[in-house]
Amino acid sequence: MLNEIRKWLIGPPLPTQSASRERLDKIRALAALSPDALASVAYANQEIFLGLVVAGAAGLAYSWTIALAIAGLLVIVALSYSQVISAYPSGGGSYSVARENLGANFGLVAAAGLTMSYVLNVAVSLTAGVAAIASAFPFLWSHRVALSLLLLLVMTVANLRGLRESGTVMAIPIYLFVAVYLIMIGVGAYVALTQGPGSIRATTLVATEEVALFLILHTFAAGCTALTGVEAISNGVTIFKPPEVRNANQTMAAMTIIMGVLFLGTIGLTQYLAVVADAQETILSALARRTFGPGAVYLFIQSSTLLVLVVAANTSYVGFPRLASLVAQDGYMPRQLTFLGDRLVFSNGIILLAGLAGFLIVIFNGDTHMLIPLFAVGAFLAFTMSQAGMVARWLRVHGPGWRIKTIMNGLGMLATTVALLIIGVSRFVEGAWIVIFLIPLLVLTFRMVHHHYEDTRAQLTLRGLPPSLAPLPEPRVVLPISGVHRGVIEALRYARAISKHVTAVFIEIEPGSGDLICKRWKEWGLEHDIQLEIISSPYRSVVGPFLNFLDKTDREHNDGQLASVLLPEFVPARWWHSLLHNQTAMVIKLALTYRRQKMGKIRAIIDMPMHLRK
Amino acid sequence: MLNEIRKWLIGPPLPTQSASRERLDKIRALAALSPDALASVAYANQEIFLGLVVAGAAGLAYSWTIALAIAGLLVIVALSYSQVISAYPSGGGSYSVARENLGANFGLVAAAGLTMSYVLNVAVSLTAGVAAIASAFPFLWSHRVALSLLLLLVMTVANLRGLRESGTVMAIPIYLFVAVYLIMIGVGAYVALTQGPGSIRATTLVATEEVALFLILHTFAAGCTALTGVEAISNGVTIFKPPEVRNANQTMAAMTIIMGVLFLGTIGLTQYLAVVADAQETILSALARRTFGPGAVYLFIQSSTLLVLVVAANTSYVGFPRLASLVAQDGYMPRQLTFLGDRLVFSNGIILLAGLAGFLIVIFNGDTHMLIPLFAVGAFLAFTMSQAGMVARWLRVHGPGWRIKTIMNGLGMLATTVALLIIGVSRFVEGAWIVIFLIPLLVLTFRMVHHHYEDTRAQLTLRGLPPSLAPLPEPRVVLPISGVHRGVIEALRYARAISKHVTAVFIEIEPGSGDLICKRWKEWGLEHDIQLEIISSPYRSVVGPFLNFLDKTDREHNDGQLASVLLPEFVPARWWHSLLHNQTAMVIKLALTYRRQKMGKIRAIIDMPMHLRK
């Protein structure tokens, strides 16, 4: 029945051979790879507004300056990544680039940063999307956690079914979003030209003229979340139609330009028109209302914002499971993450991502603003690792124009490092500390996992073993019995078939019950073939005396093997029947499986499950 | 470590032979068997007060009449039970008496009633004890649930350690309680004689002159809880010193007289002195304060009330596990209830009782008054079954004076039946319906359990089997492998030792991995001894294709046996390492254990747990 539900939910399994990889043209590749980057405008804008609004009109006047700084950073990062595209046409994620050029440890730091970044992208995008729609429908505001989790669930199921990022369906929300925002900027510019600059009503704001440097850096750090997702195109060069590198670079350029226009356009308009938002509204929602009034057009803009943020969250569902499977293949994450599920997607990675993002949404109460300080650290750490890796690469490989390339990636590295420091320091107390604490922990965990796999491999290797199967002596079989019944007889027949040395053991709990068993043993004529041992257990425990008997018999025989234990067990027909039986066989099995044997010998445990018919 | 905690909490295990049974003189036997009955005064009084106080002074005037009726019922029941004592000197519980004389089904009804009654005795006594002490210390009133659960926990641990009901320590609270209450009644009588009757202040009461018959019956039903526990002496005849029957009968008479004096004395005084209690005080507490004033003597009385109620609750800890083990021995309750624990007590019964009582305390919010309507139904049902059983016995056995005996037990049966009907009807909506619904359900469950044990026995019986062990053919061994490693080699050696027909099976998930295994198989020279089957799994499932292979190979060989499955498994050194492995062996084991085999054949599952050292 569980299987049926699964099939209904995620569809019938697909054969491995049907996995294929479609190449995309630039239009569709842009839609596939840019949602995360483009949708960042939605929350980065909001963060800049929230960062500055505490300082009133004087504070908000810095919006444009900060936006320009971030746009400049965007251009530097984009140029750096276009070099990654050229150098790694087979797809150069930060993990691969750092690992190849800086060594495994730096690769793991990048992987840890990316993991954080992917998880937070889901949490931030979904909560920001819900905030966009709750800005239009205020009664939804108090249900933000539930709505975010609902979206998360729907996306998880869709991705477990094998939703493809290349689908044309996915392209619609992106281009819709770009189109409506460009129109809004255009109309807004017209409004601005015809009506002139707005002024901020002092009543709603704390008026303070002293805007400290800290405030600006702090807001810049928050705004840096606009850059998250920029690396996606360099990871996905392989999905472009040939010539891949050229197409990818052109798409990167297009994306950078669109991002720049959306970001600077909306911030510029917000500042010029002096738009301000309430606590239960986003600044982009306020801008849209200011531009179009609270009508159908406004609602359409909010809906398209929600949609693009959902698609942006979805890029993590594509990126994280792939990263995890890559890291797991190298033995740094649990191997289960490399398995293709029924629908040819890395199901375990999808479930892990959803679990972590859901956890964040719940503990941060679905509040984007609380999640943001955690977000940029991971992303910028991965940027820095990637750029540093590229610098190391150019210094090692040289090749044509390596000096200029080194300078460009070096500039990228420098810029992202500075941004990373600003983010880490200025947002430390607000939550960045969590990520700064978690990343080394994650790297340590990766290393421990790797260590365990190495240990296991060393213990399982055949090196040093004789090249053929040395014969083992005939096993001695020991059979704990609770009485003389059909299951025991079947077990005895099996024991006799595999060995001539069979001993049945009865643990006598009730004084006198052993004699009864002896009597029945003789009645059935079993005493000729099989030795029966009666062991009295004055403390009424079954498992302890049985294990002691095993140790004793192994010691006495001293034939280089451990006795095999044959467990006659019956399996009830209904689940609740299990409550009516002792499960002694199960307890013995567990005790034998987890008890470490001396000298690394293996004790075979033979289970004979007899199924009751009713 | 778990074992250490257990040992510290409940003490080291005791050997079976140290179980012994001390005989008690009448003084100590009375203390051992009467607490439940005597302590009933505490809550029965309270219920009569609460039942009548709603009708004001006119209502409370009926206290004495109702108390007399209940005292009359007590005498009838006590006389009936003294006949049970004579007829069943080996201890005649309602279950045994009803089962022997009326058949298994009536026995089960009695057992269900007793089960309810035992569980409710714990819940009612503990909450009433907490109410007694909270009457003296009002700040405890809001913590009644927590205090009751704490007492429950302490009593459960004490009983798991093997607290004996025969202990002299247990006698102290009983005689203390009887003594202080007799003194209170004496002093109260002096106060009453010197001060004359009191009058009820009308302000605190709803004054209504219309007292319906229903109100009286309703209060009578509540007061009947005074009789719970009367049957204890007839259950425990065997603990008396010889002559058992005479001693038991004399003790029964003494208990009845003490109960009657305490009950009538306190109710008479309460009515005469017109004592009234607040919502956060018990009526006995109000009477004690009225008699002695709020000083040390009053506190002493309240403390002794709490103590006697705790001892009363303890009688369930002795009675229920014994009843459950008796019913379980007859196969109507899970067999685990017959096991003597480490400390020679029926630990499972104790834990079950504590769990059920704790559940009741929590859902009824520790309120005695809410629990009472559930209480009397079970007890009176058991009374009725017992008396009816006795009537049936006399009609069957005859013997000297059978006519008079039949009439006496018949009167008991009639009286308890009428009381049972009054209780069931008048308290139906307040909670009796729960018990009236649960008792048939419980009887049904008992029967289902019995049915299952009978089924199991029929399926395990050796009747119809050949009297010797028919030989089995040499087993075919199938070995699923995930690679060629040390664990697999050990498993192959074992497989070769028990059979010449060994097949290794590799489920190929990644296309091409099978060829690699084949190559290594040949490298190690395994292909001469052991056949290797590569099965490709296009849908990437391991278990399904493996089970299909088993079915296929069994079908092809058609040699009257199912292939044995040998599972090389490795057991990690640390618990978290298990998260890094697939647990495929475990999944296969579970699938094989629970999959029903055709034609009732048994498939042996051989587990080879290889312990990793690190």
Task: Tell me the average pLDDT across A1-22.
Answer: 77
Chain B residues touching residue A535 (CB < 8 angstroms): none
Model confidence at A207, in pLDDT bands (50, 70, 90)? very low
At residue A8, the pLDDT reads 82
Task: Tell me the average pLDDT across A525-533.
Answer: 87
Whether the CB of A176 is below 8 Å from some CB of chain B: the reply is: no
Helix (H) or strand (E) holding A565: strand A564-571
Whether the CB of A238 is below 8 Å from some CB of chain B: the reply is: no
| Rounded Cα distance, A417 and A383, in Å | 9
Cβ-nearest to B470 among A493, A511, A589: A493
- Map residue B211 onto helix, strand or coil: coil
Measure the CA angle with vertex B311, ends B308 and B316; round to 5°. Answer: 135
Measure the CA angle with vertex B281, ends B275 and B285; round to 5°. Answer: 60
For residue A136, count other CB atoms closer than 10 A to its CB.
Answer: 21
At residue B569, the pLDDT reads 87
pTM for the whole thing?
0.81
User: B602, A579: Cβ pair inside 8 Å?
Assistant: no
Cβ-nearest to B582 among A336, A582, A604: A336
Q: How close does chain B come to A142, measured CA to CA in Å?
A: 32
Give the model confidence (pLDDT) of B504-560 as tens digits.
Answer: 999 998 888 999 999 988 888 888 888 999 999 988 889 999 999 999 999 999 888
Domains of chain A, start order: 23-453 (1.20.1740.10), 476-611 (3.40.50)
User: A497, B473: Cβ pair inside 8 Å?
Assistant: yes
Whether the CB of A467 is below 8 Å from some CB of chain B: the reply is: yes
At residue B598, the pLDDT reads 62
Which residues partner with A564 through β-bridges?
Answer: A477
Whether the CB of A474 is below 8 Å from some CB of chain B: the reply is: yes
At residue A204, the pLDDT reads 45
Structure tokens at A304: 């398209």
Whether the CB of A605 is below 8 Å from some CB of chain B: the reply is: yes
* C-alpha distances out from residue A338 to A62, A331, B538, Å: 47, 10, 16
Cβ-nearest to B485 among A340, A460, A485: A460
At residue B201, the pLDDT reads 59
**Mean residue pLDDT across chain A:** 88
Task: Tell me the average pLDDT across A294-312.
Answer: 91
For residues B407 and B135, is the Cβ–Cβ distance under 8 A? no
**Mean residue pLDDT across chain B:** 88
| Rounded Cα distance, B408 and B414, in Å | 10
Whether the CB of B468 is below 8 Å from some CB of chain A: the reply is: yes
Pairing of strands A605-611, B605-611: antiparallel
Q: How close does chain A come to B546, measured CA to CA in Å?
A: 17
Whether the CB of A17 is below 8 Å from some CB of chain B: the reply is: yes
Closest of A307, A42, A37 to residue A172, by C-alpha? A307
Of the CA atoms within 13 Å of residue A174, those in its CB half-sphere come to 27
Whether the CB of A440 is below 8 Å from some CB of chain B: the reply is: no
User: A580, B449: Cβ pair inside 8 Å?
Assistant: yes
Tell whether the model's pLDDT for residue A75 goes beyond 70.
yes
Closest of B528, B609, B595 to residue B567, by C-alpha? B609
Residues of chain B with pLDDT > 90, as a percent, come to: 51
Chain A residues touching residue B529 (CB < 8 angstroms): 469
Give the model confidence (pLDDT) of B90-109 as tens digits.
Answer: 877 889 999 999 999 999 99
At residue A202, the pLDDT reads 46
Whether the CB of A179 is below 8 Å from some CB of chain B: the reply is: no
At residue B184, the pLDDT reads 93
Whether the CB of A572 is below 8 Å from some CB of chain B: the reply is: yes
> DSSP of B226-256, one letter per residue?
GGTTTTHHHHTGGGBPSSHHHHHHHHHHHHH
Cβ-nearest to A607 among B16, B581, B604: B604
Count H helices and E strands in chain B, helices first: 22, 5
User: A604, B605: Cβ pair inside 8 Å?
Assistant: no
**Helix pair A368-397, A104-136: axis angle to 10 deg:** 150
Q: How close does chain A come to B297, measured CA to CA in Å?
A: 48
Q: What's the burial of A520, exposed, middle or buried (CB within 10 Å: 0-12/13-18/19+)? A: middle
Whether the CB of B589 is below 8 Å from some CB of chain A: the reply is: yes
Give the model confidence (pLDDT) of A247-282 as tens digits.
Answer: 999 999 999 999 999 999 999 999 998 888 888 889
User: A579, B16: Cβ pair inside 8 Å?
Assistant: no
Q: How close does chain B come to A18, measured CA to CA in Å?
A: 10
Q: Which of residues 322-381 of B touch A (CB under 8 A)?
A: 334-336, 339-342
Whether the CB of A452 is below 8 Å from some CB of chain B: the reply is: yes
| Lowest-confidence region among A225-229, A544-548, B196-200, B564-568 | B196-200
At residue B478, the pLDDT reads 96
Task: Tell me the average pLDDT across A360-389.
Answer: 91
Q: Virtual CA dihedral for B459, B465, B468, B472, nearest 10 degrees? A: -70
Closest of A14, A33, A6, A357 to residue A162, by C-alpha? A14
Structure tokens at B575: 């618990």
Task: Tell me the average pLDDT across A33-61.
Answer: 86
Q: How close does chain A come to B525, measured CA to CA in Å?
A: 6
Task: Tell me the average pLDDT across B7-19.
Answer: 79
CA B329 from centre of chain:
15
Closest of B589, B547, B482 to residue A593, by C-alpha? B589
User: How many residues are given for chain B?
Assistant: 614
Model confidence at A437, in pLDDT bands (50, 70, 90)? very high
Model confidence at A421, in pLDDT bands (50, 70, 90)? very high
For residue B437, count other CB atoms closer than 10 A to its CB.
Answer: 10
Task: Tell me the average pLDDT across B142-158.
Answer: 93
At residue B467, the pLDDT reads 57
Chain B residues touching residue A580 (CB < 8 angstroms): 334-335, 449, 452-453
Give the model confidence (pLDDT) of B14-54 as tens digits.
Answer: 887 777 666 788 888 888 888 999 999 888 999 998 888 87
How many interchain CB pairs under 8 A, A with B? 211
Cβ-nearest to A468 among B453, B525, B612: B525
Q: What residue in B sits closest to A490 (Cα-Cα)?
A: B602
Chain A residues touching residue B14 (CB < 8 angstroms): 539
Give the model confidence (pLDDT) of B221-244 as tens digits.
Answer: 989 999 998 888 888 888 888 888
Q: What are B405-412's contacts with CB under 8 Å, separation 24+? A: B405/B83, B408/B79, B408/B80, B408/B83, B409/B80, B409/B83, B411/B76, B411/B80, B412/B76, B412/B77, B412/B79, B412/B80, B412/B81, B412/B383, B412/B387
First to last CA, chain B: 21
At residue A532, the pLDDT reads 94
Q: How close does chain A come to B200, measured CA to CA in Å?
A: 55
- SS3 assignment for B527-566: CCCCEEEEEECCCCCCHHHHHHHHHHHHHHHCCCCCCEEE
Model confidence at B276, in pLDDT bands (50, 70, 90)? confident
Which residues partner with B608 through β-bridges?
Answer: B568
Closest of B379, B375, B311, B383 to residue B35, by C-alpha? B311
Interface predicted TM-score (ipTM) over 0.85: no
Give the model confidence (pLDDT) of A142-177 as tens digits.
Answer: 899 999 999 999 999 988 887 665 567 778 889 999
Q: Which of residues 542-561 of B touch A (CB under 8 A)?
A: none
User: B497, A509: Cβ pair inside 8 Å?
Assistant: no
User: A613, B592: Cβ pair inside 8 Å?
Assistant: no
| Rounded Cα distance, B14 and A540, in Å | 9
Whether the CB of A12 is below 8 Å from some CB of chain B: the reply is: no
User: B486, A459: Cβ pair inside 8 Å?
Assistant: yes
Give the model confidence (pLDDT) of A91-150 as tens digits.
Answer: 778 898 999 999 999 999 999 999 999 999 999 999 999 999 998 898 998 899 999 999
CA A341 from centre of chain:
15
- Map residue A275 onto helix, strand or coil: coil
Closest of A456, A443, A457, A449 to residue A385, by C-alpha? A443
Q: How close does chain A come to B337, measured CA to CA in Å?
A: 10
User: How many residues are given for chain A?
Assistant: 614
First to last CA, chain A: 21
Measure the CA angle with vertex A154, ends A335 and A30; round to 5°. Answer: 80
Q: Which residue has the tokens 């040499």?
A: B474
CA B372 from centre of chain:
18
At residue A406, the pLDDT reads 93
Cβ-nearest to A610 among B529, B602, B610: B602
